[in-house]
Amino acid sequence: MKLTAHQIEQFDRDGYLFFPSIFTPAEMKVLLDEVPKLYALRRPENVREKDSEAVRTNFAAHLYSEPFARLARHPRMVEPVVQLFDEQVYMHQFKINGKMAFAGDVWQWHQDYGTWMNDDLMPTARAMNVAIFLDEVNEFNGPLMFIPGSHKQGALPAGHDTSTTSYPLWTIDNDAIRKLVDKGGIVAPKGPAGSMILFHGCLVHASTANLSPWNRVAVYLSLCAVSNHIRRFKRPEYIAHRDFTPIAPLADDCLLKPYPVDLPWKDGTPSSAYETEKAA
């Protein structure tokens, strides 16, 4: 899995790359079958929606679920990121966002790097977001919306929104969004389960509520260049990871064969993961 010169240019210009159906239905089924079990867990890693019991986001499943631990080491996902950064990467954040049928709430306009910088003291934006669709994404189930080119702005001023949804977020004000959209428009990549998006940590994005009867479960991995690791442990470890070991990719068939993986949090979240406000 090597990006072409054209793809690298496109990523630089637009801030994202879309790979429809890069994983097969059989590979996605292995992951999707695991989601209800994970969402049923009463662990701090499950953040539920404001107005329902539906899971909004599940954190760090790669530390306690075999299929997701293998996904976290998948070469089709890791290699293009290593290529773009020309450096090894570690897992900064690992989420399974529900955006469940009828219940999935909005994510306001934000840059992920805003949070990594403000909360985690990540030095630069050399961390990549990867979205992998476990369900089909269509116009009705709350697709990710991007403002192409907005990553060129670097980190934008942001306010900490703690009230709109169940999950606090550093969000960007309406006037700034209006200006960015005037210039770059809005796109919303849609496609079958197994599609993947790579997007820049400074790319401004949002998603609307899911009123449809179709779940829109997606995995969001944030892979950080090792030298760019975070400098402060303000957020719990299940949200912002503290292990900067480079990811060692498995074989390309790792979702379909039982390659052995470590599951250090299999029996629960270690108490050290809750210790916060420490320097890294």
Which residues make up the interface to its own copies (CB under 8 A)? 51, 101-102, 106, 108-109, 139-140, 142, 145, 164, 174, 177-178, 181-182, 186, 188, 206-209, 211-213
Compute the least distance from the CB of residue 162 to its own copies, in Å. Answer: 14
CA distances from 187 to 101, 150, 214 (A): 22, 12, 21
- Residue 274 corresponds to which tokens in the numbers above? 């809750």
Please state whether beta strands 159-161 and 144-146 pair in parallel, antiparallel, or not at all (unpaired): unpaired
Distance CA 32, CA 25 (A): 10
Contact 219, 23 (CB under 8 A): no
Please, what is the minimum distance in Å from the beta carbon of residue 93 to its own copies? 23
In the complex with its own copies, which residue's Cβ is closer, 41 or 181?
A: 181
Pick the closer one to its own copies by CB: 26 or 211.
Answer: 211
For residue 175, the surrounding DSSP H or E stretch is: helix 174-184
Smaller CB distance to its own copies: residue 65 or 111?
111
Least distance CB 199 / its own copies (angstroms): 17
Beta strands in the chain (DSSP E): 16-19, 46-48, 55-59, 89-97, 107-110, 127-133, 144-146, 159-161, 169-171, 196-200, 205-207, 218-225, 232-233, 278-279
CB 36, min distance to its own copies, A: 17
Measured CA distances, 21 to 24, 28, 69, 277 (Å): 6, 10, 21, 40
Give the shortest CB-96-to-its own copies separation in angstroms: 22
Q: Which amino acid is at 173?
A: D
Judged by CB, which is closer to its own copies: 15, or 142? 142
What are 146's strand-pairing partners? Answer: 187, 205
Comparing CB distances to its own copies, the nearer of 12 and 51 is 51
Residue type, 252: D
Measured from the CB atom, the residue of 81 and 206 that comes closer to its own copies is: 206
Least spacing, CB of residue 180 vs its own copies, in Å: 9
Beta carbon of residue 140, minimum distance to its own copies (angstroms, whole number): 5
Residue closer to its own copies, measured from CB, 67 or 142: 142
